[in-house]
Structure 1
Amino acid sequence: MADLQDDIPTPSEVGADGGLPDDPFAQGPASLERAHTLLAAHPVADGYSGLPWALRHLSWYDLELGEAAIDTDVPRMREGHVGALFWSLHLPEGSGGDRATAATLEQLDQARSVIEAHSEGLRLVSTAGQVIDARNRGRVAVVLGPAHATALDGSLGILRVLRTLGLRVLTLAGTAWAGERGLTRFGEEVVRELNRLGVLADVSGASAATAERALALSRTPVLCTRSAARALRPHPANLPDAMLAALGAARGLCMVPLTAEQTGPTIQDVADHLDHVRDVAGPECVGLSGTYDSGAVHPRDLADTSRYPHLIAELLRRGWSETELSLLTWGNVQRVLRSADFTARAAQHRREASHAKIAELDPPGPCRP
């Protein structure tokens, strides 16, 4: 099949003088139609949604009928061609410490209850195959995670419990074993156990040392669920080109957030970041994170989950091929999930569950890294 951008412009795309429209960012109905056609075949796997926490503040809601108080509901996801959604279990500021594990478990419980109550539109999934099955049945696949590493409370046993409850992504940042100086011995053991369980490591917000060690150690692709290009916007959560290149070399996945703070106030700014990540890390290493219902301000024309076709139309205008767009929206996430599933099945035949203790691997004192 020829790439979609090779299509001859239709009359609606041609200006009064017979050329292209004067507005260089004009998308037009034809571009949107092409975007909808592509997304019908390759829907969006959205890498970060704050919906579970946002729903805690609503006394009543119906995601299948539609809910104006939030950014995400089933009608808008269908309009935006969202096929899979990663539900963040991150904690709000000030919720760490002794309450981190309990708060994460409460969010897991709530997420499962929400999905069960909206079974006509949503389906909880745990593997790449289940994502495909949910899509074939007309449901939006919900992947649980990322959760914050503080939820482990220094226990690999808690990690295994969280995986049993459905967790697929863990953010490695902000703990004694995944800090500014990188992964400690216990932190390295966490990464090995993540691989054995099929839980993906997320290095969003992690120090450069932690991210680099996770990339070197993990046998499955590493995610960065909320990072854009620091070369374009010097936000601390964005990645420098050297890290983007390393992520690409390790076949990881940088999921660019649709937030004004990290990417800029317009849809063109977001597209600029996607162009840059694709060029530096490669087309197989770039994805999308809506970050809807997270409290973030979104760029114009990307206010909620229904607006993905507008972004894809802009990328089509810039010359992205159908293959590149299919990887961006769906294929790259599927690759990462399949890799994690395969590695976990193989590892569980070779490696017993780790019962290492943080006190044993990271004893206090000057020997600790």
Structure 2
Amino acid sequence: MADLQHDLHTTPEVGEVPRPFPPTADVPAAGGTAPPDPDAELLDRAHALLAVHPVVDGHNALPRALRRLPFHDLQLGESALGTDLPRLREGHVGALFWSLHPPTGLAATLEQIDLVRSVIRAHPEGLRPALGAGEIIDARNWGRVAVVLGPAPAAALDDSLGVLRVLHSLGLRVLTLADTSWASEAGLTRFGEEIVREMNRLGVLADLSGASDATIARTLTLSRAPVLCTRSAARALRPHPDNLPDELLAALGAAGGLCMVPLAAEQTGSVLGDVADHLDHVREIAGPGCVGLSGTHDSGAAHPQDLADVAGYPHLIAELLHRGWPESDIARLTWGNIQRVLRTADVTAQTAQQRREPSTATITSLDGGA
């Protein structure tokens, strides 16, 4: 395997830049040379920007896909997959949140974690596990793609705070609060609220994609750490149940959370411009500090044209540049916003651990065994 290590570098601040070139008339320039191609120039700018501010992909389902393959080599590339090391480099992906969905039981989740660890061990020159913002930056500086464990389904906890702590010790950093008796259409129960408090104490982020509106609203009020929606777009543009209405998008932005717009045709639309429309909308309603990206590759979902695999991100960024996004906002979209969320979660956990012992509550004691 080729060694991906390169010299250490720091990430400079990116300021606002002029809008991209308008369409150029088809008239030869002085000396008879062809006029510049604005699309090519935008794509070059996108590559240059992503080289400094790479993509943190909020929901990649590669572990699920690998369970169905008898053999894999991510360095050589796999035609059956949307994720491999050559395409991660081509797409300028700096970190992946590896989803542990859809397994719902503890044993299946542990098997997924074991698989992720084996994949990272098999590709040490391309992948590195990461537990927080600092380790993601370290992985980037050494030319590796950082791998963060999660989101995992809430059912994996088996209604146990002790299991939550064990999964955290194994590296889990994101948990989806949905499809349990304590996080349902009715919202969070008392035990569900205790789960959120313990997640804050540990530094496990709440993922609210797929959660009910009542659960989202209550978690936003309760959580001391920012929350994620790892695969949610704008319901105003496409009425998918995992997409968020404008009032929740605004509340998410006010709470410092992050809406990671998925590259999934069912949620955003069939072409690249549809995804950009959702990014525009989330940015307008929730603010530029509230928007991120979620590839949802290898999840079985259909993807918009030009975004079928992880190599497609530069084309999306070129479209945003064409629409007049300042480079500073794009840098936040791809890299800065999730770094802020992870750093805030770490600080929140450090503070909570000084004030609060590990919870000994049970679902029976709080919800009567509901």
Number of the residue aligned with 1:350? 355
Counterpart in the other structure of 1:16: 26
1:189-220 per-residue CA deviation (whole Å, 9 max, x = no partner) reads: 00000000000001111111100010000000
Change (3 A) 1:27 1:153: farther
Contact 1:88 1:147 in 2 (8 A): yes
2:219 pairs with 1:233 = no
Tell me which residue corresponds to 1:271.
276
2:63 to 49, 52, 67: 52
Indicate yes or no: 2:339 matched with 1:334: yes
After TM superposition, give the deviation of residue 345 of structure 1 in Å. 1.2
Q: Structure 2 length as normaliser, TM-score?
A: 0.92
Q: In structure 1, what is the Cα distance between the partners aligned to 2:351 and 2:360?
A: 19
> What amino acid maps onto 1:265 in structure 2?
S
| Aligned CA-pair RMSD | 1.4
Instruction: State the 1:4 CA deviation.
Output: 3.8
Q: Cα distance 1:199–1:27, how it changes in 2: closer, same or farther (>3 A)?
A: farther
How far the C-alpha of 1:48 sits from its partner, in A, is 0.2
Residue equivalent to 2:46: 35
Between the aligned partners of 2:155 and 2:88, the Cα distance in structure 1 is 31
Aligned to 2:305: 300
Q: Any runs of at least 4 consecutive aligned residues in structure 1 with deviations exceeding 6 A, and if so which?
A: none
Question: Which residue of structure 2 aligns with residue 74 of structure 1?
Answer: 85
Q: Distance in 2 between matches of 1:64 and 1:49?
A: 17
- 2:177 maps to what in 1? 172
Deviation at 1:362, TM superposition (A): 0.2
Separation of aligned partners in 2, 1:230 and 1:298:
18
Q: Name the residue aligned to 1:61.
A: 72
- The aligned residue for residue 21 of structure 1 is none
Structure 1 residue 17 displacement after superposition = 6.0
Structure 1 residues not aligned, in runs of 5+: 19-25
Aligned residues of 2:59 and 2:294 also touching (Cα < 8 A): yes
Question: Deviations 1:73-113 (Å, cap 9, x if unpaired)?
Answer: 0110000000000000012xxx54xxx11100100111011
CA contact (8 A) 1:4 1:316 kept: no
Cα distance in 2 for partners of 1:281, 1:294 equals 27
In the TM superposition, what is the alpha-carbon distance from 1:64 to its structure 2 partner?
1.5
Are the counterparts in 1 of residues 96 and 147 from structure 2 also a CA contact under 8 Å? yes
**Contiguous gaps of at least 5 residues in structure 2:** 1-13, 29-36
Q: Deviation digits for residues 321-354 of structure 1, max 9, x if unmatched?
A: 0110000000001000001111111111111101
Is the 2:19–2:321 Cα contact (8 Å) retained in structure 1?
no
Determine the structure 1 residue equivalent to 2:198. 193
TM-superposed deviation, 1:15: 3.2
AA in 1 matched with 2:97: F
Question: What do residues 248-286 of structure 1 show as CA deviations (whole Å, max 9, x unaligned)?
Answer: 110100000001100000000000000000000000000
Q: CA deviation at 1:308?
A: 0.2
Give the CA deviation at 1:2. 5.2
Determine the structure 1 residue equivalent to 2:10: none
Contact 1:27 1:313 in 2 (8 A): no
Checking the alignment, whether the CA contact within 8 Å between 2:178 and 2:208 is kept in structure 1 is yes
Q: Distance in 2 between matches of 1:82 and 1:259?
A: 18
- Counterpart CA distance in 2 for 1:59 and 1:285 is 39
Aligned-pair identity in percent equals 68
The separation in 2 between residues aligned to 1:172 and 1:5, in whole angstroms, is 42
